[in-house]
Amino acid sequence: MTCQKRRRKATGLTGFLPIAVLALALFSCPTVFGWGCNEAHPTINELAGRLFIVKSQSDSFGDKYRNAPVEYRTVFDGITFKKGGMSEKSADTITLRTDFLGWLQRGGHDADIPEIVMGFRHFYDPVYEPRYLTWLTKRLKKPNREDATSEEAFFEAFEYHADDWNLNEDWNGQLRKLRLQPKLIKPRIDGITWALTHEDNDHSFINGLRAYKTAMENDRARFAGLTRTQLFAKAFRCVGEAMHMVGDMTQPAHTRADSHSLFEPVEKTVDGEMVRRVIGDGWKDPGFRPTRDFPVVPGLSPEELMKRAAVFTNAHFFSNDTVADYKKWVFPRNSKRPYPNPMLSDLKESGGVYYGWFEDVGWVPLAKATGSWFSVVLFKSKKVNLEHPKCNVTAEMAEPQAKVLLPIAVYSASELIDRFFPTLDIAVEAKHSDGNTYLVSGTLKHSIENDPEWQKVGEIRYTGAGSIVVNGSRKISCQFIAGELIAPAITADAGDGDIFQPLISSHLLNKTQGDRLDGFT
Q: Which amino acid is at 365?
A: P
The answer to whether residues 305 and 286 belong to one domain is: yes
> Looking at residue 433, what is its pLDDT?
81
For 51-95, what is each residue's pLDDT tens digit? 999 999 999 999 888 766 777 899 999 999 987 666 666 678 899
Most confidently modeled range among 114-123, 215-224, 455-464: 455-464
Question: With bands split at pLDDT 50, 70 and 90, how would you rate the model's confidence at 374?
Answer: low
Residue 355 lies in a domain: no
Lowest mean pLDDT among 107-111, 241-245, 377-381: 377-381
Same domain, 109 and 220: yes
Residues 93 and 131 in one domain: yes
Sign of the Cα pseudo-torsion (196, 201, 204, 209, in order): positive
Residue 88 sits in the same domain as residue 99:
yes
Q: Using 50, 70 and 90 to split pLDDT, how confident is the model at 351?
A: very high
- pLDDT tops 90 at residue 240: yes
Q: Which CATH number goes with the domain that contains 290?
A: 1.10.575
Are 414 and 455 in a shared domain?
Answer: no
Residues 86 and 204 in one domain: yes
For residue 481, the enclosing domain spans 2-25+421-491
| DSSP assignment letter at 171 | B
Residue 180 makes CB contacts below 8 A (sequence gap 6+) with 167, 168
Strands 391-392, 362-369: pairing kind: antiparallel
Same-domain pairing of 53 and 11:
no
Local confidence band at 187 (pLDDT 50, 70, 90 cut-offs): confident
Query: What pLDDT does residue 97 have?
Result: 97
Identify whether 370 is part of a domain. no
**Calpha distance 383→513 (Å, rounded):** 61
Please report whether residue 266 resides in a domain.
yes
Torsion of CA 257, 334, 247, 104, to 10 degrees: 100
Instruction: Answer with the residue of higher pLDDT: 341 or 257.
Output: 341
Q: Is 64 part of a structural domain of the chain?
A: yes
Q: What angle do CA 409, 411, 416 make, to 5 degrees?
A: 90
pTM recorded for the entire structure: 0.85
Domain assignment of residue 381, yes or no: no
Coil, helix or strand for 67? coil
Query: Is residue 33 a part of any domain in this protein?
Result: no
169 has pLDDT over 90: no
Comparing 59-63, 156-160, 378-382, 417-421, which segment has the lowest mean pLDDT? Answer: 378-382
314 and 451 fall within a common domain? no
Examine the domain organization and report whether 272 and 188 are in the same domain. Answer: yes
Pair (48, 19) in one structural domain: no
Rounded CA separation 40/29 (Å): 31
Count of domains in the chain? 2
Residue 344 has pLDDT above 50, yes or no: yes
Q: Is 110 exposed, middle or buried (0-12, 13-18, 19+ CB in 10 A)?
A: buried
Is the residue at 444 inside a domain?
yes
Look at 357 and 91; give whichever has higher pLDDT: 357
317 and 444 together in one domain: no
Integer Cα distance of 93 and 257 in angstroms: 32
Question: Is the peptide bond preceding residue 340 cis, with omega within 30 degrees of 0?
Answer: no
In a domain, 344, yes or no: no
Domain match, 406 and 460 both? no
Q: Helix 205-216 crosses helix 398-420 at what angle (to 10 degrees)?
A: 40
Structure confidence by residue, pLDDT tens digits, 333-342: 888 889 999 9
Nearest to 195 by CA among 416, 414, 397: 416
